[in-house]
Structure 1
């Protein structure tokens, strides 16, 4: 694990404008920088980088974060991988906490395999492009298949010479370890001698998400019934086939922008589509989809379109892994290529435009397509039809996430109609499969599993519809504002040497005032560091290793405009109602203004201006006021149910709360309607 000292060194040196500017063309605009968002297609720049706050925000698609999360999102790196990327960029030596000898050995082996693979990729590429044998055998084959030099170089394709030990000799001469060479699968031992494993084959390097070569696929060029068409790297510390999809590194940004991933079977399918300009495509390598591969796709998009051959084998391959895709909440569509073609040959035949049109016109819903296939196989056999009903019901039971409840109900309705069965009975059958799985997976008693299922269904409604409840009891804005002022100003001096954070905690000592979990976590961690004598600032949370908390911290500071002196002066002449709106959240006031008046308001606003102590007091006061309102409502409900003897105590409580409310509102200058 990377030490906190190293992380702090990285964070102290990084420059968000420099890092983001490596991937996005930025122009200075006032105190901030502006560019086209790399996460969605846009013509008018709405992607803003704030160097002072060290955050980015796209006002088009809503993506936001810090330097580390930008790398994680844009380059699809893990938190640790992003830190390593930054450490390498800013020449920070990485220190790691104590690791076991086994862990050290595994890391050293992985690092060595990366180095050997990089060496082999360069060797094969050089043999393909710069030797007579490679050009005659390998390059001519690739050109016959329609691949140009640009796509060959982009994917780093190579050629393995036909000789017995061409690679082995060069690797040994370069002093690479023979055991590690065998672990990569590049070299094998036969009859006591090391030999090349790949001979007279086209080499397809396989990259991880950061672009490093982790393995190879080697395709036979000449027909040979005794040799396998493809040889792949054996599994090792780097290469685990079930967790990989070919072409992910080259497709990740295109998938992000298109919000859709095309899945094909073979390496050449990916190459041909990329060459045609369709880059949001990866390949499964012809194997059944695994949960890890589907989760890899889910990192980029929830929309998966499988494009396979239209023959029986292609249909069968496409249907594999359907249940797992549903469990991952992927929206899966299927496109079958006609007339014995595959994606590789079809895109070369019809071109990019027609291929895209064909995909769009021929997308089939995965579940309904599976149902059609099963019904055709069943024919008029009643027993087989009953099996189809059970199979489809079990498939639909996998759609059990709360957010997918409506989608599941739509499928139940459509499938029941196609099967010509009672919808209510079919719903009961789907729920039975849900209960059985819950009881099995969680080892719950049947009754408890049934109760769990019913609660899950009820949870599809995310919030009460009663607007009064939302207004009076949902303290989201007030709680977020407390967290924001704490992050922005907590380490500044308040009065008599006291920090602003200490003042806030003294005014709001009880954490049970808060309901938002992220706000509570910020308060708890801030207070804990404060009590131990450590002063932290907003960057502690903006760069927090908990990605959820980091994103929340960023969201607290992502304001496009901030209050100017002119705005304050104008509001000082405003009505009490306008003042109260502004003082609670002047940005809410902005949203109430007609967009047509936006230009007239520009001169009232300026970016990056500091806030005042009154804002902190206002945030605390509004939260207190909100809590008192809740207590008043609860007290009123108790009075209606109380006995005559108990009503007097509750009445006195009511008077005390009203007095507190009046004092707080007088501080805010608001009018309370009794």
Structure 2
């Protein structure tokens, strides 16, 4: 059903841009306008402006602009009609319908609304079960044992699913819900080999509703209450059209106001961690719910604050496994700190044990910025082992390189050098090397972009597009050689624990191939690995592409062959590349890196020729660093290094 023009007009008249935007990002007044870091792209300096007088927003970084309705459409990823409904609900405006929507739009809207209604019906059903005999003795007792008071149970709308096959199913059908709708919502399952026979997904579990930003239940997490080892301890709702777990943070609805007010977000792992921290008076907390942190979740945090503190259980293995999340947070433009709890403690247990005041004091005292946290983490192992210390330095530098703000990067580098007891220049050299590596990975050269977007035939002999190619990539032969080694020896062992392909793919993971045909062959190789295959050359000959087949044949066919008599009769033995695959693969990767550095340096020289006077010094510095890196690789290869090679 379409929304009437009268409803739309009322929404336009009553909404306030400041109130609408402030639900998502904290605004700060500067002059007549309000400013924030843009919620639509990553930035460290606010360029997102809101004009209360004009009722508009404008980002001077990414160009996003509009009125309150457009803002909701952009931020929530919804259409015009859903944005109007969202704002009408916020301002208590009655929605009047008209019969003019496209049938497909009506179907999509109705499907989403039906899922919201079903899931929120289930939420209320589970919550009310806490008043039943079974729910009170099992579910409510569990919550009380954990110290959850009635207000907190209400706040998070906790519940219990009765231990039976069809309690929710029968209750919902009695209320008019169709089985197909309950199935789409992930509330029931269909028995295998028995079409049309359904049963409850959640049985005998305490229920944790997962809310979206507006407070609607969109999914559930559920913990089993029995000791049945055949059943997983926790199960979650499946993904639906309204629930994508990578976009959701548990507790964000209950935490968003506190996050804005404190300008900080605590990040934990589980549902009970969040709830226990609320009980301890710390409400600006969300959980990734046991999943790896995603870019969407990071952007969700950044809507409300740039400050995030990650809370880690007192378990070294768990901490090391979660370190990637810190780098992702840094890359997302957030300022990251960390707190580690004592051994065998987590936020839930420690909050209950230490009490409100003790818990909050612990957080304040133990909070460290990510530099001190990472260095302390590696300090024990690195103290007596130079190799481990070098690796610790690389790990710290890798994290610093993720920070988008160059000033903050510089401060972190200086502090890291001091804490690690090393010369700042050495650390900066390593940092610059990593930055160049990151830049190459995220921003390929102009030629690379053109080559990547061209058809494979564009760089092959006899192609009709050949006349349009003015530049042949200098890494052409090195890329070909590396693919040749992959196809011929990728399945061989380069060490006791590693295949040739594993080594080479790790070494080149940050490089973008310039030549489309080799990029496509590399893609086929990786696709085979994803399918569990360790491909040999015959795998590639089955590909329905004549030019790829020809290229592979050229790669596997030997260019020359040593006479058998050379060894058997004359006892003269020639060294083959397969005799020492370790050296062969190592040199192939170095040659490719050297070629890439040379191309980057050549491109930089062209920029220098056209640069303005105030840009030349920075470009020359970068040119010198590229030359030094290339020289180091060439020395490793045993090449004679002239002044400009």
TM bucket normalised to smaller: 0.5 to 0.7
- Contact 2:219/2:243, CA 8 A, preserved across alignment: yes
> In 2 relative to 1, CA 3–148 (structure 1 residues): closer, same or farther, beyond 3 Å?
closer
Paired with 1:241 and 1:395, the residues of 2 have a C-alpha distance of 26
What stretches of structure 2 of length at least 5 have no aligned partner? 24-51, 57-64, 446-598, 616-645
User: In the alignment, which of 360, 366, 370 is matched to residue 374 of structure 2?
Assistant: 370
Aligned equivalents of 2:120, 2:377: Cα separation in 1: 45
Aligned to 1:351: 355
1:145 aligns with 2:169: no
Partner of 1:132: 133
2-side partners of 1:112 and 1:86: how far apart? 20
| Correspondent of 1:319 among 320, 323, 336 | 323
**Correspondent of 2:94 among 70, 87, 91:** 91
| Residue 410 (structure 2) pairs with residue 409 (structure 1) | yes
Are 1:262 and 1:304, in contact at CA under 8 Å, matched by a contact in 2? yes
Give the Å deviation of 1:86: 2.8
Partner of 1:195: 199
SS of the residue corresponding to residue 262 of structure 1 reads strand
- What is the rounded CA distance, in whole Å, between the counterparts of 2:171 and 2:215 in structure 1? 24
Task: Give the alignment partner of residue 247 of structure 1, picking from 238, 251, 265.
Answer: 251
Q: Secondary structure at the match of 2:395?
A: helix
Q: 1:417 to 1:153 in 2, by over 3 A?
A: same
| Structure 1 position 160, deviation (Å) | 0.4
Q: Does the 8 A contact of 1:87 with 1:94 survive in 2?
A: no
What's the offset of the Cα at 1:197?
A: 1.3
Aligned match of 1:446 in 587, 600, 614?
A: 600
What residue in structure 2 maps to residue 228 of structure 1?
Answer: 232
Name structure 1 gaps, 5 residues minimum: 24-51, 57-64, 460-674
2:280 equivalent in structure 1: 276
TM-superposed CA distance for 1:325, in Å, is 0.7
SS where residue 321 of structure 1 aligns?
helix
Note closer, same or farther for the CA distance 1:285–1:379 as it changes in structure 2 (3 Å cut). same
Distance apart, 1:326 and its partner CA:
0.8
Residues 217 and 194 (structure 1), Cα distance of their counterparts in 2 relative to 1, 3 Å cut: same
Q: 2:116 aligns with which of 93, 114, 117?
A: 114
The Cα shift of 1:413 comes to 1.4
How far apart are residue 99 of structure 1 and its match? 6.4
| Alignment partners' CA distance in 2, 1:144 and 1:111 | 36
Which stretch shows the higher mean deviation, 92-101 or 293-302?
Answer: 92-101
Q: 1:334 aligns to what?
A: 338
Q: How many residues align?
A: 415
Q: Which residue of 1 aligns with 2:435?
A: 434
SS at the partner of 2:345?
coil
Alpha-carbon offset, residue 349 of structure 1: 2.1
Q: CA offsets per residue over residues 81-101 of structure 1, 9 Å max, x none?
A: 663233343224477997694
CA distance in 2, matches of 1:15, 1:437: 43
Task: Say whether 1:395 aligns with 2:399.
Answer: yes
Deviation at 1:355, TM superposition (A): 1.4
CA distance in 1, matches of 2:368, 2:156: 31
Deviates more, 1:273-282 or 1:315-324: 315-324
Note the alpha carbon deviations across 1:532-564, whole angstroms, 9 max, x for none: xxxxxxxxxxxxxxxxxxxxxxxxxxxxxxxxx
Q: Distance in 1 between matches of 2:319 and 2:9?
A: 53
Contact persistence 2:221–2:235 (CA under 8 A): yes
Q: 8 Å contact 1:266–1:285 — kept in the other structure?
A: yes
TM-score normalized with structure 2 length: 0.58
CA distance in structure 2 between the partners assigned to 1:452 and 1:133 by the alignment: 76
Asked whether the equivalents of residues 69 and 84 of structure 2 are also in contact (C-alpha less than 8 Å), the reply is no
* Per-residue deviation, 1:182: 2.1
